[in-house]
Structure 1
Amino acid sequence: MTYDSEDVEKILEIALTRKQEGEFSREQLVEMASELGISSNILETTEQKWLAQQKEEGSQRTFNTFRRRAFWAHFVSFLAVNLFLILLNLITSPSYFWAIFPILGWGLGLFFHWWSVYRTEFRSQESEFRMNSERKSG
């Protein structure tokens, strides 16, 4: 009996999902690749690329977590200092609300910090991540 590539892909996909332990050894991976006619050189190259991609994705997640934590620390300090300034303003000169000026200035900076951390534009975050990585390694 012969199978076309689409059938083979479906059969292997079903077999992989039914495998209970969900993990394969390197030997099993090499054996499956050889059964599929994939040379060891191609497998090795692909495996190295995959490992590098996994490492970079982990670094990206770590970097994004660092950026989010830095933003939240900035936000908490913004709240604490500005609440103190509002109380100070109400105690010293309740007729003139001068605390609005540091709140607006710092709030603008906080907004841009939020924008740089949580914007949806992935390319700029990736380029910033790469620049940060190059700075650390260089």
Structure 2
Amino acid sequence: MPVSQTQMIRSYNQEDIQQILQIAIARQADDTEFTREQLLEIAAELEISPECLQVAEQQWLQKQGEIQKRQDFNIYRHGRLQKHAGNFAIVNSFFMGLNLVNGGELTWSLYILLFWGLGLGLNAWNTYQSEGEDYEKAFQRWYRQNQIKQSINTIWNNLFKTWGT
């Protein structure tokens, strides 16, 4: 009787175990949410110390916060692109209409349309690039600006509270 390949492999490395357990939990749980107590029980069964679990949970929370910040940044960039595209459509429609009314044909307005369209295309290209050094620099700049705005708002609100009392 031939021995199947799954019966021959009796040891797994840590990454394999993580992937197998991740798939098994996903298949079993589907839309089920686990409580923190259940998380602690699972960790205890896997002989993971509460301290190690707490550190892992903190790292996961930090990672989720980073993911949320990047999603907010991408939403901001898409909104900015939509505004730019709207301005492009309105202004170029006006110039093309003005060109048609004055000259009866499209001449000079096409140059504006083409050059601005080139800029819009490059802007769209950069907006949908979510990796690389340029993206990271833009994200860091946006994040610093938001931190400064939040600090100023906090100071401003504190000043109003002290003046109001």
Which interval holds the TM-score relative to the shorter structure?
A: 0.7 to 0.9
Q: What secondary structure is seen at the aligned counterpart in 2 of 1:27?
A: helix
Could you tell me which residue of structure 1 aligns to residue 146 of structure 2?
136
Match of 1:34 among 41, 44, 62: 44
Could you tell me which residue of structure 1 aligns to residue 70 of structure 2?
60
Offset of 1:116 from its aligned partner? 1.5
Offset of 1:127 from its aligned partner? 3.0
Matched, 1:100 2:110: yes
Judged with a 3 Å threshold, the aligned counterparts in structure 2 of structure 1 residues 81 and 37 are, in CA distance, closer, same or farther, namely same
1:51-74 residue CA offsets vs partner (Å, 9 max, x unmatched): 111111111111101111211121
Offset of 1:120 from its aligned partner? 5.7
1:7-51 residue CA offsets vs partner (Å, 9 max, x unmatched): 976478535522466111111111111221111111111101101
Could you tell me which residue of structure 2 aligns to residue 14 of structure 1?
24
Offset of 1:135 from its aligned partner? 2.7
Judged with a 3 Å threshold, the aligned counterparts in structure 2 of structure 1 residues 4 and 101 are, in CA distance, closer, same or farther, namely closer
Judged with a 3 Å threshold, the aligned counterparts in structure 2 of structure 1 residues 58 and 120 are, in CA distance, closer, same or farther, namely closer
Could you tell me which residue of structure 1 aligns to residue 55 of structure 2?
45
Measured in 2, the distance between the counterparts of 1:59 and 1:126 equals 12
69-78 vs 125-134, which deviates more?
125-134
Could you tell me which residue of structure 2 aligns to residue 85 of structure 1?
95
Measured on the aligned residues, the alpha-carbon RMSD in Å equals 2.7
Judged with a 3 Å threshold, the aligned counterparts in structure 2 of structure 1 residues 134 and 95 are, in CA distance, closer, same or farther, namely closer
Q: What secondary structure is seen at the aligned counterpart in 2 of 1:101?
A: helix
1:55-112 residue CA offsets vs partner (Å, 9 max, x unmatched): 1111111110111121112112211211111111011123671112322332232122
What is the total number of aligned residue pairs between the two structures? 136
26-35 vs 97-106, which deviates more?
97-106
Unmatched 5+ stretches in structure 2:
1-9, 149-165
Unmatched 5+ stretches in structure 1:
none
> Given the two structures, how large is their TM-score scaled by the length of structure 1?
0.80
45-54 vs 3-12, which deviates more?
3-12
Could you tell me which residue of structure 1 aligns to residue 80 of structure 2?
70
